[in-house]
Amino acid sequence: MKIKNIMIVFMAISLLLTGCNGTAKAQADTQAEDTDAEANEVKEASREIFAMDTYMTLTAYGDNAEQAVEEAASEIERLDALLSTGDENSEILAINENGGGELSADTAVLIERSIEIYEKTQGAFNIAVYPIMEAWGFTTQEYKVPSEQTLQELLKLTDASKINYDDEAHTVSFEQEGMKIDLGGIAKGYTSNRVMDIFREWDIDSGMVNLGGNVQVLGEKTDGTQWRVAIQSPDDSGDYLGVLSTQDKAVITSGGYERYFEEDGVIYHHIIDPVTGYPAENGLTSVTIVSADGTMADGLSTSLFVMGKEQAIAFWRENSDEFDTILLADDGSLYVTEGIADRFTSDIDFQIIEK
């Protein structure tokens, strides 16, 4: 084989730029210079789509990049239609209307994982909070502050231990009438996992997906260096909390800034504390989870946000082999767990959490 003089300059930076309305922008700058026109450089394919209420970017490198990105985009659209509570033909909507039903393979996995995370987080992650989401208007964007009495009534419908999932028949039923579920806290992580699966099936060994601030990367960049994922600051400054160098990981962030409304000077956001029925205010403004398992990372980003700093750190210490985390407290202090501390850079002085 002829040795070619190839110079490939490749940069890919994935930036999490998440707006307050739940939208986000990813940026993957690529630049290839080839001194030999016939050189067989790495093929790149990239696609931007709007699904699951957010902007998404998919990028793959390799011979089958085009097909991989195409199939992944179709998969995202399929999952969106299946899982969205806002889609009148979605499986979740039907289950909520009928108090249960038969589940397709994806929904079965998601409900099973959601129950597992519910138990593991002692209820911080709770897909049965949907009636509360409705009461606050997060499902229709007709926002309102519900009365304390309304919340107390609705909290009776949010006992996730009353979601009966049959893992053999792949059915679910709710023990109580009026219960409803919402996979919004976990669906995007599952989706980014699926994208990685599809990329692998097409023999892609370098790629990334950004689903509205939820990033998952496959392998390293094509130049053999790690992906650099910037984590957005929860204030509107457009700054970053820092940048994480990583490979083969999901980097998923939850923050109250992603979807909220303001009434009488108070901000109400979309992550509900299942104990109170109010938006979780437990001292954290942003939680990033880093894990090879996107589904778990998404579920835990919501969970640790609900838990607050002390409990989140204790939870990490018990499960440090499964994930790492970056926590921003509302006093501005930043905490990074030891598994990723040497790969995280920030202008803010951060404290390393050790086991």
Give 132 or 336: the residue with its C-beta nearer to ligand ADP: 132
What is the bridge-based pairing of β-strands 13-15 and 227-232? parallel
- Residue 258 sits in the site that holds Mg ion (CB under 5 A): no
Find out whether 240 and 229 touch, Cβ atoms under 8 Å: no
Site membership for Mg ion, residue 302 (CB under 5 A): yes
Take residue 331 and report the two structure tokens written for it: 């006093």
What minimum distance in Å lies between the beta carbon of 102 and ligand ADP?
Answer: 23
Pick 100 or 185: Cβ nearer ligand ADP: 185
# of chain residues touching Mg ion (CB under 5 A): 5
* Contacts (CB under 5 A) with Mg ion, residues 39-58: none
Interacting residue with ligand ADP among 206, 254, 285, 295 (CB under 6 A): 254
**DSSP assignment, residue 240?**
E
Between vectors from CA 171 to CA 198 and to CA 271, what angle results, nearest 5°? 70
* Minimum distance of ligand ADP from residue 124's CB (angstroms): 6
Question: Whole-angstrom Cα distance, residue 212 to residue 175?
Answer: 34
- Whichever of 18 and 206 has its CB closer to ligand ADP, that residue is 18
With CB under 5 A as the contact rule, the residue among 46, 54, 84, 301 that binds Mg ion is 301
SS3 146: coil
Whole-angstrom distance, CA of residue 353 vs CA of residue 146: 38
Nearest-approach distance from CB 44 to ligand ADP, in angstroms: 27
Q: Applying CB under 6 A, which of residues 46, 126, 191, 325 lies at the interface with ligand ADP?
A: 126
Among 45, 51, 76, 127, binds ligand ADP (CB under 6 A): 127
Asked if 293 is part of the footprint of ligand ADP (rule: CB under 6 A), the reply reads no
Short-list 106, 108, 91, CA closest to 166: 108
131 counts as binding ligand ADP under rule CB under 6 A: no
> Quick check: 80 binds ligand ADP (CB under 6 A)?
no
Which span (7-15, 65-73, 295-303, 327-335) binds ligand ADP, by CB under 6 A?
295-303
Q: Which of 13, 275 has the CB closer to ligand ADP? A: 275
Dihedral sign, Cα of residue 339, residue 342, residue 347, residue 353? positive
Considering only 106, 182, 258, 298, the residue that binds Mg ion (CB under 5 A) is 298
Compute CA distances 27 → 7, 10, 13, 16, 32, whole Å.
23, 14, 6, 8, 16
Q: Please name the residue ranges forming H helices in the chain.
A: 65-83, 91-98, 105-120, 130-135, 148-155, 187-201, 294-307, 309-318, 338-341
- 12, two tokens: 């890919």
Rg (C-alpha) for the chain, rounded Å, is: 21
Q: Which of residues 200-229 bind ligand ADP (CB under 6 A)?
A: 214
Does position 182 interact with Mg ion (CB under 5 A)? The reply is no
Pairwise CA distance, residues 100 & 181, whole Å: 10
Distance CA 227, CA 221 (A): 6
User: Of the ranges 101-109, 168-176, 180-188, 337-345, which one interacts with ligand ADP (CB under 6 A)?
Assistant: 180-188
- Is the CB of 73 or the CB of 304 nearer to ligand ADP? 304
Pairwise CA distance, residues 134 & 154, whole Å: 10
Instruction: Tokens for 63, please give them.
Output: 């011979």
Which range in 150-158, 237-245, 252-260, 347-355 contacts ligand ADP by CB under 6 A? 252-260
Residue 289 CB, nearest approach to Mg ion (Å): 8
List binders of ligand ADP among 258-287 (CB under 6 A): 258-259, 270-272, 274
Q: Which residue has the tokens 């202090």?
A: 333
Interacting residues toward ligand ADP by CB under 6 A: 22, 125-127, 129, 133, 182, 184-185, 188, 214, 254, 258-259, 270-272, 274, 298, 301-302, 306
In the complex, the residues that contact Mg ion under the rule CB under 5 A are 185, 254, 298, 301-302
